[in-house]
Amino acid sequence: MSGQKPTSMRHTPVLLNRTLDLLAPALDRPGAVVLDATLGMGGHSEAMLTRFPDLRLIGVDRDPQALALAGERLAPFGDRATLVKAVYDEVPDALAEAGVDHLDGALYDLGVSSLQLDEADRGFAYAQDAPLDMRMDTTTGITARELVNTADESELVRIIRRYGEEKFAGRIARAIVTARTTAELATTGALVDVIRSAVPAAAARTGGHPAKRTFQALRIAVNEELDVLERAVPAALAALALHGRIVVLSYHSLEDAIVKRDLAAASRSSAPKGFPVELPEHRARFRLLTRGTETPTEQEIAANPRAASARLRAAERILEDPAPPRTGHHTDRRGA
């Protein structure tokens, strides 16, 4: 582990001030509870705990290394910070472990973390030769090495095209299957060489690093990121108390499409088209706090190039969910 630099110097939180400002109305009050569902190295969490002195934070991450580093960073805040090893869709379990039953704020900073990119032996970065792993939780699940060496060609095409939006998915998948008949693809460098051989030279010159989209696709597949996100946003919305707020930072179109869909659905009436009266159960439970997505400024991107692809969306709960219908035996006491 490269531990020479303090954690605060290894990680610059993306869109930090805007995130804090959006969450402030929900968090700047006694007893407020916030979920940092993608804790990473704790940059956003540290800033929230510093700015809001009465805040309690639940920090969730599936990466044991991230939890250890964030734990050191957040230690000065004592029991105001509770860290839980979990995947970010496991909101009810994380809240139960922390002993709370609601949230006033939730933050999702999606994608691969600075820690995972910077630690060469994690296998996330195509610019460094390392074992082909890509697991966010190195204690469980299949590795990228297992995936590229066992998946059939059609499955590789599906993964690379769907999750990487790579137009040369067929050529890359075919090259992987051919290469692994000679020797197992065990390192990021070996995989990059195969991808380079499959991508036309002209496209490689103009489209950025030829392995970028394939590495993104494999990482998403290995960690089931989109499947998790499909469950994560609804889980967080359900846990938010009245006037609670959620902020989500996404880094590619597939993530953002899921976030956009879920926040939009929660923020519009569910009344059937042409229905004459909007019943209480049809009213929107949330309101959007951003018009479309918000993006980093040129100054922030210059200071932190990893912020360049960030897209921010946010919403606030404005209405409680309807109470579930009563069940069981009912005694009519009228006239008793």
pLDDT tens per residue, range 193-232: 999 999 998 776 777 889 999 999 999 999 999 999 999 9
Non-local CB neighbours of 176 within 8 Å, separated by 6+ positions: 148, 156, 185, 191, 194
Is the model's pLDDT at 283 over the cut of 90? no
pLDDT at 315: 98
pTM here is 0.88
Q: Are residues 127 and 94 in the same domain?
A: no
* Distance separating alpha carbons of residues 57 and 33, to the nearest angstrom: 6
Total tally of structural domains belonging to the chain: 2
* Distance separating alpha carbons of residues 292 and 287, to the nearest angstrom: 13
Q: Are residues 202 and 229 in the same domain?
A: no
Rounded mean pLDDT of 64-75?
94
Q: Which amino acid is at 117?
A: L
Q: 3-state class of 79 per DSSP?
A: helix
Non-local CB neighbours of 154 within 8 Å, separated by 6+ positions: 173
234 within domain boundaries: yes
Rounded mean pLDDT of 312-329?
78
Percentage, residues of the chain above pLDDT 90: 74
CB 122 within 8 A of CB 133: yes
Cβ neighbourhood burial of 85 (10 Å; 0-12, 13-18, 19+): middle
Q: Are residues 133 and 218 in the same domain?
A: yes
The range of the structural domain enclosing residue 200 comes to 122-223
1 within domain boundaries: no
